[in-house]
Structure 1
Amino acid sequence: MADDPQSTPATGPEGDRQGEPATGSGAPAPGTESDKTTEPTGDQAEAVKAAELRAAQAEAEAARLRRSNAAQKGTDLDALRAEVREEFTAQLVRAEVRAAAAGKLRDASDALALLDLSALAGPGGEIDGKAVSAALDELIKAKPYLAAESGQAGAWGDVGAGPRDTAEPEPSTPYERLRRAYSD
Structure 2
Amino acid sequence: MRLMGKLAEAVRLIACLLLIAVSVHIVSVLSVPSLSHADAFSLVSRLGPELRLVALDGHEALLDGMEDPDIAAAVCSFDLAAGPVKLTLPAGADGFSSIALHQEGGGAFFALSNSVAEKGRIEVVALTPAQAADRAADDDPDNPSEEVRAVSSRARGFAVFRALALFPSQRQAAKAFVAGAKCQHVE
Please indicate the TM-score interval, normalised by the length of the shorter structure. under 0.3
For the pair shown, the structure with the greater C-alpha radius of gyration is: 1
Report which of the two has the higher share of strand: 2
TM-score normalised by L of structure 2: 0.27
TM-score normalised by L of structure 1: 0.27
